[in-house]
Amino acid sequence: MKLLISNGHLIDPAEGQNSGKDLLIEDGKIIAWLGPNDGKPGDAEVFDASGLIVAPGFIDMHVHLREPGQEHKETIASGCAAAVAGGWTSVCPMPNTDPVNDNAAITRYMIEQAAKAALANVFPIGAITKSSDGSELAEMGEMKAAGAVAVSDDGRPVPNAGIMRRAMQYAHDFDLPIIDHCEDRSLSSGGVMHEGKVSLLLGLKGMPALAEEIDAVRDIMLAKETGSHIHIAHVSTKGAVEAVRRAKHEGINVTCEVTPHHFTLTDRAVEGYDTNTKMSPPLRSEEHLSAVIEGIKDGTIDAIATDHAPHHADEKALEYDRAPFGITGLETALGLACNELVHRGIIDLVRLVEMCSTNPARIFRMPERGTLAPGSVADVTIIDPNLKWTYRNADSRSKSRNSPFDSYEFTGAAVATIVGGQVVYRTEARA
């Protein structure tokens, strides 16, 4: 089966490509780029991408798919449906399922459920410690052999520096990056939003920026000593961005990601006590948001990841103090990145593709993805950066509705998502 994506504008930062070319796909692989003078195969199905950006498939490095154990919030199938509607061809679920993904059997189960759904690729992230309780290291080698691409205790920090040091040495032996949820709980425990003027005014307990920064600095020091690769999840503070910038200058193997909500909203969004503004790390003040934007601009921040964290409406309907942390994000990420970053001139489309595809593939050592080079897996995200649309929680493909971006108007969307050469999503399906 051949598919020709014709008349599109190809952006592939890994190959230095940023111009018009046709893309020929056969049997799930990219076969060739064709220029105007190259012969077109007569037997290929044609996808007309006139006026559209053709990019290597987007890889979301940080999602929570809730299966196994909390299928009332999300399943791997419903999460993958939301992913492809947002332009993501691959998603990497965190291990804080029930039970925790701390062994090869659960890693394999997740991959099997994804294969049944046949929408997005699922590359699980295994736990650093057994049950993610921060004490005993999990069997990283077995999880890697089963398909895990990284390890993390996300949702929780690894509180003990000695255990984190051993985890880094162990992960390094298996060439696995550690995805680091940086939060010193002796500072943040009990907090429900960013600690600052707004938390004081609202009478809510704050989580200081320092809680993230102290842990980030500790783990950067450990990464320097052990030589292992750490990837700081959902960086949200000025001090953490600065610490990563310094570490990169020093040649320490550290990368990091930002979520769309952290480059869009500040803690002022909490003023209405909407529990869909409650997440960890919390929405920060203007000063931190500016530092995050600066980190996106100068390349300190490598990737955009959603931290898609679905919760049932009944759970989020509690008062602010008691509601769970997290918001959905798979379907709004690209719209937010276009609105807040591309159309404001903070980054261009090449850098957007780099942050959503090239860099995630590099960080997770996926040489066949994150590029459109001939021979690569045919995962493709087709984008209309000028398409105007409105996001509605009621239309979400996720099982959960906990997004603060209901009724947001966006300029920019994925109009088609192709996974392994199959068109698994097209905008027409939404209409």
**194 touches 267 (CB < 8 A):** yes
First to last CA, the chain: 27
From residue 201, give the alpha-carbon distance in Å to each of 206, 268, 382: 11, 10, 44
Q: Which is nearer to Zn ion, 9 or 181 (CB)?
A: 181
Q: Which is nearer to Zn ion, 263 or 410 (CB)?
A: 263
Nearest-approach distance from CB 342 to Zn ion, in angstroms: 26
Q: Which is nearer to Zn ion, 189 or 390 (CB)?
A: 189
Nearest-approach distance from CB 327 to Zn ion, in angstroms: 12
* Residue 322, C-beta contacts closer than 8 angstroms, at least 6 positions apart: none
Q: Which is nearer to Zn ion, 54 or 330 (CB)?
A: 330
**Using CA atoms, how far apart are residues 205 and 193, in angstroms rounded to an integer?**
7
From residue 32, give the alpha-carbon distance in Å to each of 66, 173, 301: 38, 37, 32
Q: Which is nearer to Zn ion, 21 or 181 (CB)?
A: 181
| Active-site pick, 12, 302, 307, 384 | 307
Q: Which is nearer to Zn ion, 61 or 383 (CB)?
A: 61
Nearest-approach distance from CB 254 to Zn ion, in angstroms: 16
Nearest-approach distance from CB 156 to Zn ion, in angstroms: 8
| Pairing mode of beta strands 29-34, 22-26 | antiparallel
Residue at 293: amino acid letter: I
Which residue has the CB atom at the shortest distance from Zn ion? 181
Question: Would you tell me which residues interact with Zn ion (CB under 5 A)?
Answer: 154, 181, 233
Residue 120 burial class via C-beta count within 10 angstroms: exposed 0-12, middle 13-18, buried 19 and up? buried
| Sign of the alpha-carbon dihedral angle for 332, 334, 340, 343 | negative
Nearest-approach distance from CB 234 to Zn ion, in angstroms: 6
Q: Is 12 a catalytic residue?
A: no
Nearest-approach distance from CB 177 to Zn ion, in angstroms: 15
**120 touches 419 (CB < 8 A):** yes
Q: Which is nearer to Zn ion, 144 or 181 (CB)?
A: 181
Nearest-approach distance from CB 396 to Zn ion, in angstroms: 22
Nearest-approach distance from CB 183 to Zn ion, in angstroms: 8
| The pair of three-digit structure tokens given for residue 260, joined into one six-digit string | 């769309």
Q: Which is nearer to Zn ion, 164 or 233 (CB)?
A: 233
* Residue 186, C-beta contacts closer than 8 angstroms, at least 6 positions apart: none
**Catalytic residue positions, numbered:** 307
